Amino acid sequence: MTGVPAHAAPAASAPDHLGDPVQPKAGLWNIANLLTMARLVLVPGFVLLLLHGDGHDPAWRSFAWAAFAIAMITDLFDGELARRYGLVTDFGKIADPIADKAIMGAALVGLSALGDLPWWVTVVILVRELGITLLRFWVIRHAVIPASRGGKMKTLAQGIAVGMYILMLTGPLATVRAWMMAIAVILTVATGLDYVRQAIVLRRAGLAAERAAAVAAAAAVPDGAEAGASAGAKAIGVGAVPGAAPPVATAAATAAAGTAAAAAAESGAGAGAGGAGTAAGADDSDADDLDSGVSAELSAGAGAGAGVGADADFAAETPAAERQHGV
């Protein structure tokens, strides 16, 4: 026995991080955020290159493709660098998805405006991207929807297909880019439905956990009330003698016992006087000596019995608690 309470002793399995170096908080101007900023700056430049002239100049379309390719490459590296080297910041969390949607949306809308890409393809992809972003905010209070492998494949397919549409391709390459865009649209719809399913499951699980916590909290309230009532009862009963009546009841019992004792004493006194008179009559009459002596003894016995009865009545009517304390 060491004398130390068990709850005061440190847990043996608890890790000690006192000597660990403090990780500095990542600043705004780090390599990951700089890549994200560069991608945001490239968006208006890309639009100008894509729509230069009539929008169908192969040279300017090639420049636009280069800007789009740089933006997509930076998208692959900024997130990986931020996670690997601890460069995650609030700015990066907000700016990175905005930059992704901005460059892809600008390319899709520009190609559809030029007549190179059907508008329904642009609408399907943009509705899916914006819808999933809103869906993430819908369930962010309960859980985070993780990026799936299908989502990464979708991003890669979209980047390749849109890049091929930016270039002025003809012949078999034009057919290849059409098939590539079809694959991108299928992956876009499929992964979008999967994200919707995940969001519904995560939200239901979160709501169920909240309801369970609310029920547990409500069930704990009566227990606390009962504990408070018990503590109050104990506080009221402090100092009370076991078996003793409350103060008011004790006073009433004492008064009743005094009245009964006085009545019994008066009865005993009267019986004693009668016995004494009978004994005197026996001394004056010699003829009735024997009879009078017997009568005197009987009277004296009656008086003594009355006194004993009075004492017994007083003892019976006196509460046990008063006899115990000598009242």
Indicate the SS3 state at residue 135: helix
- Supply the pLDDT for residue 157: 94
The architecture CATH gives domain 25-216: Up-down Bundle (1.20)
- Supply the pLDDT for residue 24: 59
**Do residues 102 and 75 lie in contact, with contact meaning Cβ atoms separated by under 8 Å?**
no
- Supply the pLDDT for residue 295: 41
Which residue positions in the chain have pLDDT lower than 50?
A: 1-18, 20, 233, 235-258, 260-327
Q: How many CB atoms lie within 10 A of CB 308?
A: 11
pLDDT 10s digits, 211-227: 999 999 988 876 555 55
- Supply the pLDDT for residue 23: 55
Q: How many CA atoms lie within 13 A of 141 on its CB side?
A: 7
- Supply the pLDDT for residue 234: 53
| Alpha helices (H) along the chain | 31-50, 58-84, 90-113, 119-139, 149-166, 172-236, 247-284, 289-317, 320-324
